[in-house]
Chains A and B, each alone.
Chain A
């Protein structure tokens, strides 16, 4: 099966002033048609930068230094902006975090949703408007024809995010990049939007790159998960495998810091000590080592290699042992 998005050995440098920061350092991912890949990590781990590189929206000073990004089989690294835009244009849609700033406040939403069709000459004005209204209905706005005449500030946050989704989908993209699409929304709206993603994905057979820091979102709405830390890939697995038997100590720390209702009263919430490293400074060979509760000398001396078993890969010297490991060990151990 052809892959929808293939990132291999991607390196993104961001230059600001004299210093250069390697925001993404050699990550490789693939996303098949109709699947959802969750890209998770703390702030500043490079997950958004990866998304922006795919979209061709790296900030000023940002540059793909190495590696390749293939969208639907087309290499886009090294292309001139106009050529890359021709490939992306109708193939890729984008949903941003903040629906307040993601819509033009001076345009009626119908006109905004219809605009991509006009950009690509896919419909004339009235046909584009009709399609826009239909799609606004499909993403769950009631009375879409009336809503299309409104301005963004007249809608609630959840409705704006639905409009943003309609805008992203109007050209029928095969790949949707959603950068923290639910972070700015309240919890109930969040859930509705994620369910909308799921149903749209099924009806349109579209791939979704879901960038988020929310492990709960990842668990319920992705097929595969990539955990990033300090510009590198820490762990990559199918969602099922990951939650069943995560190996990397960073993934472990992330999951353990989610509070549960069972946590006894008065007990401190689990956190990951310290802050993500400054990517412009000196980094330990295992970048998580300075914050890792299980780190040993080897983590500060040798860079961990990527090891892969089936659909599960990770880079950790001292991976967490899963229940399966414990069982084989006890079976193999002479008693």
Chain B
């Protein structure tokens, strides 16, 4: 980009200096990006997640295994030629299963986080913007849903509906939107008294325009951070319900289910049924936490410098 000359409209030294500085600074989103990229841990998180995604989604194109038909003759083989990570209790290749299971886990986690964030942002901005009775009513709903133990609700819903990827996305999303809703509502309460919102109101802007053009873009910084933590939480939640035997039924696989199946064989010494899925979960959750931390710092720093 070319470096703009100081603006002549402002003749004060300070204003001109500010202007010059403003001119060389890149635009807002790239400022956040740059600070994010300066954060080594955040980069590590991003690389870890990319590695997991490549492993799960592109791996099966290179490493072909049959993840549909059980082979009881090849049960619980230890790692060795042909099966780098051994086979599980019904003869599936563990490495191939790790890839397929990872696909499900990542898809559900991203989907659930998206549902949670979209619902939470809309709910929170609407409640925060209108305030008063509407706000109280909407936030009491959030409080009451939050007061029900999430695991209990998950088990209840998982027994009522036949678990599938889509169903799990909806169930996890519908459980997870509460935190972002609260977060966004709080942020909206302060944003709605900002003068630019007031100015739009004076000029006749209606609620939908104010909410979607002026409030939502301003809470995105906060919510992007929350979204990454939502992904990590969802991966753990899938593991938890699979562990309880309420996950997606076989032959579909996911990391949580693989881990819980493997744990039955703890005392048989079949370590290859436990470590791979456990480590995959840890790496993915960790990667999203690192990304979230990095984003929070990048976004937070921006707010700091602006004030």
Contacts and interface: CB of A to CB of B under 8 A. Distances in A.
Interface of A: 55-57, 59-60, 85-86, 88-90, 92-94, 96-98, 101-107, 112, 115-116, 119-120, 140-143, 146-147, 150-151, 153-159, 162, 164, 167-168, 171, 186, 188-189, 192
B202 A153 contact: no
A150 B23 CA distance: 9
Interface in B174-226: 193-196, 198-206, 209, 213-214, 217-218, 220
Contacts of B16: 156
Minimum-distance CB pairs A-B, first 8: A89-B204, A106-B217, A154-B22, A156-B15, A102-B195, A96-B195, A156-B18, A116-B203
Given A107-B217, A157-B15, A171-B203, A142 B131 contact: no
B11 interface: yes
A142 B16 CA distance: 13
Contacts of B132: 60
A159 B25 contact: no
B28 A153 contact: yes
Contact of A106 (B19, B193, B206, B218): B218
A142 B25 CA distance: 19
Nearest to B27: A151
B201 to A, nearest CB: 7
Given A88-B202, A105-B306, A142-B9, 8 more contacts: A60-B131, A89-B202, A98-B195, A102-B196, A107-B214, A120-B204, A147-B7, A156-B18
A101 B4 CA distance: 25
A312 to B, nearest CB: 32
Contacts of B213: 104, 107, 115
A119 B22 contact: no
A225 B168 CA distance: 67
Contacts of B8: 142
Interface string B103-140: 00000000000000000000000000001100000000
Contacts of B18: 156-157
Given A142-B7, A189-B12, A101 B22 contact: no
12 contacts: A55-B198, A56-B202, A57-B202, A89-B203, A96-B198, A102-B199, A106-B217, A142-B8, A154-B27, A155-B19, A156-B16, A158-B15
Nearest to A81: B201
A94 B23 contact: no
Contacts of A116: 203-205
B14 interface: yes
B300 to A, nearest CB: 14
Interface in B16-38: 16, 18-19, 22-23, 25, 27-28
B202 A186 contact: no
Contacts of B205: 115-116, 119
B217 A188 contact: no
A158 B11 CA distance: 10
A141 B23 contact: no
Contacts of B143: none
Nearest to B205: A119
B10 interface: yes
A73 to B, nearest CB: 19
Contacts of B19: 155-156, 159
Nearest to B306: A153
A104 B10 contact: no
Contacts of B22: 150, 153-156
Most buried by B among A59, A158, A159: A158
Contact of B203 (A97, A119, A189): A119
A313 B9 CA distance: 40
A186 B16 CA distance: 13
Interface string B156-186: 0000000000000000000000000000000
A214 B196 CA distance: 24
Nearest to B19: A156
B196 A151 contact: no
B184 to A, nearest CB: 15
Contacts of B217: 104, 106-107
Contacts of B218: 104-106
B203 A141 contact: no
Nearest to B221: A106
Contacts of A104: 196, 213-214, 217-218
A188 B12 CA distance: 7
A157 B15 CA distance: 7
Given A154-B25, A156-B18, A96 B199 contact: yes
B155 to A, nearest CB: 41
A189 B15 contact: yes
Contacts of A192: 10-11
A92 B10 CA distance: 27
B203 to A, nearest CB: 4
A318 B10 CA distance: 47
A167 B196 CA distance: 10
Contacts of B7: 141-143, 147, 156, 159
Contacts of B15: 156-159, 186, 189
Nearest to A92: B202
B10 A158 contact: yes
